[in-house]
Structure 1
Amino acid sequence: MTVVRPARDASRYRWVILGVATFTQAAASFFVQGIGAMGVHLQRDLDLSTAQLGLLISAAQLVPLVGLLVAGELLDRHDERWVVGAGLSLVAVALCAGSLAPGYTALLLVLLVVGAGYSTVQPGGSKSVATWFDGSRRGLAMGVRQAGPPLGGAFSAAVLPLLAATHGWRATLVAGGIVAFLGAGAFLGLYRRPPGRAVAAGGTRAPLAAQVRARLRMLREPSMVKIMLSGTSLISVQSGVLVLTVLHLHDVAAIPAGTAVGVFVAVQVAGVAGRIGLAAWSDRRRSGRYACVVTCMVAVVAGTAMLTTPLGRSPTAACVLVVWLGFFGFGWYGPWVAYVAESAPPERTGFALGLAMSANQVVIILTPPLLGLVRDLTHSFTPAWGLLAATTAVALAIGRRRR
């Protein structure tokens, strides 16, 4: 009995780890994912163009461009508990302080600080789940955990626009800070490393030149090339859905702003279902996790392309299409992260996750203002959706040829 019980307790506690990692990710994403839902209010209150709104959404994603790599290194050397807890605490402090921001420029600076803390949460939570779950259930666990961003986004889409309408946009930052504090407290209080797993810090480390060469070799690996192509193309669609959905439904499909926000909540819920369902499917698919990612690429090409047709102007059809994009355009992330974790050397899991996610950050930063600029210059959403369909189709074709 004394031999079996620790293993049984560890098997049970991994579900606690999964729950706290998912809650932490949802708490970290609450405000960042909710900015798109507040697009109509922010444009009105701060007198913003679509491009300025896109830049505001990108601001929180700018620092993670480098921060994810730093976070990956920290996670390979230190306990995820402290790395993630400290990062999310920084998010909470920055958002609460940001409620005093005098205007648009100051708000941009606040979101840059938020991005620095946010950098630790994605790779840290992913590594914590990958550490506790073996390959037979890792896809499902990653999918549940990666449901955190759309789950936080769905909650924020339901709460933040109402809060902004009744108390102003500053109150939304305070709410985001409180939620981030709750997430930090939960992770610091409940997370533990698996029994028998020591932190990788300490010991003899390779010379700096050797470490750099090892990282460059990782970039040339065929699996990393597929990771970069699929991740950057699909994250561009996810960013496009966040920034364009409410505006497209309101301006093109003539849906009232309140109803459009409700549809946006449904899009986020579809993303939650997609991340869990598609990741669980990848655990059982003989062709592997990457084939599941390819399926998502084909689905989002079809969905974004149809939004450029007259179907995009039909209220019913447009709603169905954006929910479709929510399922596949958000759902790909669960199997994709599991594929990244399993493709990396065990001692470099944190860095591999940080590297892959930092490549995505380039696209996350560039996509919202670029799509907003395209919309402002053409006075139409068709070129923006068409651009997303074309780039994903090109990435899909290149990836298939490299296979």
Structure 2
Amino acid sequence: MPGERRRWLILVVGMLTMIAGSTFQYGLAYLIPAFRDEGLALEQAAFLVACPTVGVTLTLIAWGAAADRWGERGVLSTGLGLEGLVLVAAQWAHGTASLAVCLTLAGAAGGSVLASGRMILGWFARHERALAMGIRQSSGPLGLALAAVTLPALAADGIGMPLLFLAALFLAAATAAFVFVRDPAPQPSTSVRGTPDRPSTSPYRTPSLWRIHAASALLVIPQFTITTFALVFLIDARGWTALAAGHLLAGAQVCGALSRLGAGYWSDRTDSRLRPMRIIAVSTGVGMLVLAAAAAAGSSLAVPVLLFLGVVVVSSNGLSFTAVAEQAGSAWAGRALGIQTTGQNALTALTPPVLAVAIGAAGFAPAFAVVAAFPLVAAILVPVAAERTAMVDQAAPGDPATHGVRT
């Protein structure tokens, strides 16, 4: 297969694996009404929603190290296949505890998807890399859109059918990864401190990567506040039905996917990953404050603000992943992306149960107002001033000048 076609096919397959992973890990929030219909409290339902993220968090760094050592093809196909089989087995889970174990184990296998992404370094040059990563990361909102459209309807007779649907998605994605994914030819390892001729030392000897990790982790708090509780807010505070709210939020997630592409294009054109990331963080913080005020006033303005946030809060993800991969270099990219996603998922796992308690105790408006602080702190942490000197342009001789492909 010609190299140009191959790299775009690999990107498409990477998107499909991410869509499957996102539909499960983040889309379980759309089963909260079904869990509550089965007699679970909001806090219990939020705990189940968080279980896949707990599993992912436990295994991300290990999956990233495996990808650095053996490549992404085997890692993706193995992890996705195991995830699908665990969800098939979940059909026989009885009780909340056993279901939580199955969801956690499936999430642990699914860490293979979120620890991947290092292939972008090998298959795409720097001037197109943020857009490529944005395309790949747009799968997250697309998975949420798929969850919003399918899971509430499939859950009409219980959660068995939604879990089988998710299992089928994973098994199909595992097959596609095994058949179509090819790891790029090995490239000379570069990082912040490395050169094409000398393997890099640890990129964690400078604070830039740690600051990006911290800012990215803080940004997932508003993201998963909206992801998890937008449906509940529309039902409980605005009187919407679950299906109507799901369809509206599916549209917002599609727009969110497009926003990741737009952010990637913006980043490539300005040759900066972190300046756009800071602007998005500030916009998210301000938007959360406006949402809190609208919720407190009982204003219908809350709905368009919620939709605005549904688009904006997801847009910076591809930028942070691109920045991490570039600063880490090819020798460290898998581990660095694993560390990046571990931090994100640790807070992602905590957000639903903690916010559920806060909403139950104080209501939506105060909870939204507190969440607004996190993206504003993230904006301060983003190391924009260090970006120009810290970044190494990996589109040097030996990097994919001809897109680094193997034919």
Shared fold (TM-score, shorter chain, > 0.5): yes
Unaligned runs of 5+ in 2: 190-200, 387-407
* CA drift at 1:221: 2.0
Instruction: Kindly provide the amino acid, as one letter, of the partner of residue 359 in structure 2.
Output: R
Equivalent in the alignment of 1:235: 220
> What secondary structure, in the 3-state scheme, does the structure 1 residue paired with 2:310 have?
helix
How many residues are matched? 377
Letter in 1 for 2:175: G
CA deviations on 1:323-373 (whole Å, 9 max, x unpaired) are: 211221111111111111111132111111111111112111111111011
Q: Partner residue of 2:390?
A: none
2:186 is the counterpart of 1:197: yes
Is 1:386 matched with 2:369?
yes
**Which amino acid in 2 is paired with 1:224?**
L
2:134 counterpart (124, 138, 143): 143
Change (3 A) 1:399 1:147: closer
Q: CA deviation at 1:314?
A: 5.7
Alpha-carbon spacing, 1:398–1:31, altered in 2? closer, same or farther (3 Å): closer
How far apart are residue 401 of structure 1 and its match? 9.9
Of stretches 270-279 and 81-90 in structure 1, the one that deviates more from structure 2 is 270-279
- Aligned residue runs from structure 1 range 160-175, under 5 A: 160-165=151-156, 167-175=157-165
Secondary structure, counterpart of 1:35 in structure 2: helix
Which AA in structure 1 matches 2:12?
G
- Kindly, what percent of the aligned residue pairs are identical? 28
**CA gap 1:338/1:101 in 2 versus in 1, 3 angstroms:** same
- Aligned partners of 2:279 and 2:379 also within 8 Å: no
The 8 Å contact of residues 278 and 382 in structure 2, kept in 1 or not, is answered as no
Match of 1:203 in 2: none
Q: In structure 2, which of residues 26, 34, 43 is the aligned counterpart of residue 33 of structure 1?
A: 26
Match of 1:180 among 170, 173, 177: 170
Q: Is 1:130–1:142's contact at 8 Å kept on the other side of the alignment?
A: no
Question: Counterpart of 1:249?
Answer: 234
Aligned residue for 1:62? 54
The aligned amino acid for 1:385 is F
Partner of 1:154: 145
CA distance in 2, matches of 1:399, 1:192: 33
Whether contact under 8 Å (2:274, 2:383) holds in the other structure is no
Checking the alignment, whether the CA contact within 8 Å between 1:270 and 1:323 is kept in structure 2 is no
Tell me, what secondary structure is at the counterpart of 1:331?
A: coil
The partner residue of 1:112 within 104, 108, 119 is: 104
1:274 touches 1:331 (CA, 8 Å); kept in 2? yes
> Under a length normalisation based on structure 2, what TM-score does the superposition of the two structures give?
0.87
User: Which residue does 2:244 correspond to in 1?
Assistant: 259
Say if 1:33 and 1:150, in contact at 8 Å, map to a contact too: no
User: What do residues 254-305 of structure 1 show as CA deviations (whole Å, max 9, x unaligned)?
Assistant: 223322112221221122111111111111114x110111111011111111
2:296 & 2:288 partners in 1: Cα distance? 9
Q: Could you tell me how far apart the structure 1 residues matched to 2:72 and 2:253 are? A: 27
Equivalent AA in structure 2 for residue 152 of structure 1: G
Kindly indicate whether the alpha-carbon contact (under 8 Å) linking 1:232 and 1:359 is maintained by their aligned counterparts in 2.
yes
Deviation at 1:120, TM superposition (A): 0.7
Answer whether contact 2:21 2:110 (CA < 8 A) is retained.
yes
How many angstroms does 1:36 deviate by? 1.0
Cα displacement (A) at 1:119? 0.7
Output the CA distance in 1 between the equivalents of 2:122 and 2:298.
46
Q: Distance in 1 between matches of 2:299 and 2:383?
A: 35
Partners in 2 of 1:27 and 1:365 — Cα distance?
A: 18
Pick from 242, 261, 265: which aligns with 1:280?
Answer: 265
CA distance in 2, matches of 1:28, 1:127: 17
Q: Within the alignment, does 1:13 sit opposite 2:3 as a pair? A: no
Q: Using the TM superposition, name which of 262-271 and 177-186 deviates more.
A: 262-271
Tell me the equivalent position of 1:204: none
Asked whether the 8 Å contact 1:253–1:313 carries over to 2, the reply is: no
What is the rounded CA distance, in whole Å, between the counterparts of 1:394 and 1:146 in structure 2? 23
Q: Is the 8 A contact 1:253 1:312 kept in 2?
A: no
Matches of 1:90 and 1:323, distance apart in 2: 35
RMSD, matched Cα: 2.3
Indicate if the aligned counterparts of 1:75 and 1:350 stay in contact, CA closer than 8 A. yes
TM-score, normalisation: structure 1: 0.88
State the partner residue of 1:128. 119
> Equivalents in 2 of 1:314, 1:273: separation in Å?
30
Q: Deviations over 1:46-69 (max 9, x none)?
A: x22222222111111112223111
Specify the alignment match of 1:207 in structure 2: none
The one-letter code matched in structure 2 to 1:63 is G
Q: Give the partner amino acid of 1:77.
A: R
In the other structure, the counterpart of 2:209 is 224
The separation in 2 between residues aligned to 1:339 and 1:398, in whole angstroms, is 14
Q: In 2, distance between residues paired with 1:396 and 1:127? A: 25
**Cα distance in 2 between the residues matched to 1:317 and 1:69:** 42
Is the CA contact 2:139–2:257 (under 8 Å) kept in the aligned structure 1?
Answer: yes
Look up the equivalent residue of 2:11 and give its one-letter code.
L
Aligned mates of 1:397, 1:292 — CA distance in 2: 13
Q: Secondary structure at the match of 2:301?
A: helix
Aligned to 2:392: none
Secondary structure at 1:99 match in 2 = helix
| TM-superposition CA deviations, 1:93-127 (whole Å, max 9, x none) | 01111122112111100111111111110122x11
Which residue identity does 1:234 align to in structure 2?
L
Unaligned runs of 5+ in 1: 1-5, 201-213
Compared with structure 1, are the counterparts of its residues 220 and 38 closer, same or farther at alpha carbon in structure 2 (3 Å cutoff)? same
Counterpart of 1:175 in structure 2: which amino acid? Answer: F
